[in-house]
Structure 1
Amino acid sequence: MSKKVGVLLINLGTPEQPTAQSVRQFLAEFLSDRRVVDIPKVLWMIILHGVILRIRPKKVAKLYQSIWFDDGSPLMHYSRKQQQALQQALADQDIPVELAMTYGKPSMTDAGKSLAKQGVEHIIVLPLYPQNSRTSTAAAFDSLARSLGKCPHVPGLTWVSDYHDHPGYIAALAQSVEQYWQQYGKGDHLLMSFHGIPQRLERIGDPYPKQCRTTAKLLAEKLGLEDHQWQKAFQSRFGREEWVKPYTDETLEDWGKKGMGRVDVIAPSFSVDCLETLEEIQIQNQEIYLEAGGKDYHYIPALNAEPDHIEFLASLVKEYLPAK
């Protein structure tokens, strides 16, 4: 008799409210993770609690307030929609789907307990990070491992490490771009903006930047773009050290100074829209481009719970089903 299979979707996490207190609580957990920030712990704790958590929460809370939905942050809103849509897509195979966050709620423990109550004995763990990084995928693995340490037994596990070059993922990205172009017209340049990581992490073996470059190349090929029609870049850098280049904001500023026409921007490392896409890319970087002299700017939304994306995720889950 085959074991019942369930799916655990994992995303990063989000403050529960757009308030300084809630943001401070979330950032304290997130930025204390050694997978995310690995500078000497004593020094970092002084910086984190003495400076960052005193200054940054109020600023970040205001940013969240500008994009907050009635049912929570955009990341939570769209992640829940993904969970519900994927659950429906897999309903014919009786595969329950739960959502957990690496930081905050819903927790890995709560999601695991829910799957256990539904009779699940084997979990397909699907971090919603197309590209694999120690700062995201590995951090999710650590969080899951800690939660499993509280279980009376460990269920069967299948871990989906990444899907950065999966034809279904590339096709879903391309379809989202093409649909946007059909509705709003096509820009002169397509910028693919990926979340950045420190350059030294790539030097010591983090596969993320290379996988991002592969995703960008495959998407450009799928869209039939020439080399001069697209560019890849990396956003959201933090601190003073060098991060993987080129930088999204500097690229857009340079393009603006050159008086480029319309630029379309997509963020392929984000499975759902969140603070980094809706506020940083759609608002801040648009201002950078236009103020530098650029003519027109369009943000192409993340895949979120669009039918093509859910269809791909469902097919991906089926690829990882254990043999009967």
Structure 2
Amino acid sequence: MSTPTSAKRRVGVLLVNLGTPDSPQTPDVRRYLNEFLTDARVIDMPAAVRYPLFKGIVVPLRAPKSAKIYQQLWDADRGSPLLYHGLDLQRLVQEKLGPEYVVAFGMRYQNPSIEKALEELRDAAVDRIIVLPLFPQYAAASTGSVQEKVMEIVGKWWIVPTISFISTFTDDPGFIGTFVTLGKAEMAKHDYDHVLFSYHGIPERHVLKGSFKGYCQLGKCCNTYNKNNRYCYRAQCFETSRQLAQGLGLRDDQYTVAFQSRLQSRLRDPWLQPYADEVLKGFPAKGYKKVLAFSPAFVADCLETTVEVGMEFKEMFEEAGGEHWQLVPSLNSHPQWVEGVVNMIQQN
């Protein structure tokens, strides 16, 4: 009787991004927001408060407005950028890894679902599964939510294969290197006075809740990246920025780190600061009339990059007296990034 050999075994890879509505129409956007904003890791309120507040008030008010924004973003042929860039990445990583791997792609919210992607890997009889949430900096509301969902699903399987997670790639050479390549390409086209690294914000309490033995205090503790703050979202953002600045040849005074997309006002619920929209309005008064902006919390172009940073921030900047605002495109399926993903998988 033949026995399994390492040559016959296949490794499953699950790439996961946040999610997107099935269409830019209000009902689909409402369905997406309901799933996203009732996740206890995203909105860490008691369920008795979270569900009626968001499903009953916030989402119904927000869905029509968000639908209009998604319509600006939607590609007539390919749909949501977050989806088609993810599928492109899946295909190219599969081609690079070859037949010994099976690469699947899923979304934490809506479609294609994580459950469907995991079923693909199970049907392929993979020997083990490597899960790569496509969030460079670990946060409980993003990477942590993906990990929890994966374990919830496979926990119901009768046979659970070996599963490993790539929880952060804050300083991964492939990730950093690709953004440096894209940034230098933009810098070759135009002279800039300043660079903004804008990251998706999270509530300050999320950092403090995950603080290792109280180490993270939203201050100078993020000036170095070490074993005590390696899973602190704020510390990771600053480390990514230092690595990018080094690759781009920037001095400390030539770039600013800020946080965007806060959900609530800081008076009610402080989010990580400084706030990007407030920072950029002060740039022209400092003599920063030409600004290059990065969104290094995202590896694919989406609403928060293309619309928020690329369009809305540009308008704010120009209204404040700025002359030139340029968003560096995200990594999407850039060949250097594909190679970086392949390397991370092979190393794990």
Q: Structure 2 length as normaliser, TM-score? A: 0.88
Hey, what does 2:84 align to over in structure 1?
77
1:97 is paired with a residue of what secondary structure? strand
Alignment of structure 1 residues 279-298 onto 2, 5 Å:
279-298=307-326
Residue-by-residue CA offset, 1:23-82 (whole Å, 9 max, x unaligned): 100111111110000123222223212311221000000000001012221111111111
Gaps of 5+ in 1: none
2: distance between equivalents of 1:145 and 1:126? 14
Q: Which one-letter code corresponds to 1:170 in the other structure? A: I
Residue-by-residue CA offset, 1:269-320 (whole Å, 9 max, x unaligned): 1010111111111111111101111111000011110011001111111101
1:102 is paired with a residue of what secondary structure? strand
1: distance between equivalents of 2:119 and 2:327? 38
2:238 is paired with a residue of what secondary structure? helix
1: distance between equivalents of 2:139 and 2:23? 27
2: distance between equivalents of 1:168 and 1:74? 21
Q: Which one-letter code corresponds to 1:248 in the other structure? A: A
Q: Which one-letter code corresponds to 2:179 in the other structure? A: L
1:193 paired residue among 191, 198, 211: 198
Q: Which one-letter code corresponds to 1:80 in the other structure? A: L
1: distance between equivalents of 2:60 and 2:113? 26
Q: Which one-letter code corresponds to 2:284 in the other structure? A: G
Hey, what does 2:245 align to over in structure 1?
220
2:73 is paired with a residue of what secondary structure? coil
2:110 is paired with a residue of what secondary structure? coil
Gaps of 5+ in 2: 212-231
Hey, what does 2:115 align to over in structure 1?
109
RMSD: 1.3
Matched-pair identity in %: 37
Hey, what does 1:89 align to over in structure 2?
96
Residue-by-residue CA offset, 1:228-262 (whole Å, 9 max, x unaligned): 21111110000131110111111111113445221
Hey, what does 2:302 align to over in structure 1?
274
2: distance between equivalents of 1:83 and 1:167? 20
Q: Does 1:133 align with 2:139?
A: yes
2: distance between equivalents of 1:51 and 1:109? 29
Q: Structure 1 length as normaliser, TM-score? A: 0.95
Alignment of structure 1 residues 30-69 onto 2, 5 Å:
30-69=36-75
2: distance between equivalents of 1:195 and 1:98? 26
Residue-by-residue CA offset, 1:134-176 (whole Å, 9 max, x unaligned): 0100000111112113323111111101110122322222111
The answer to whether the 8 Å contact 1:259/1:293 transfers is no
1:96 is paired with a residue of what secondary structure? strand
1: distance between equivalents of 2:205 and 2:279? 21
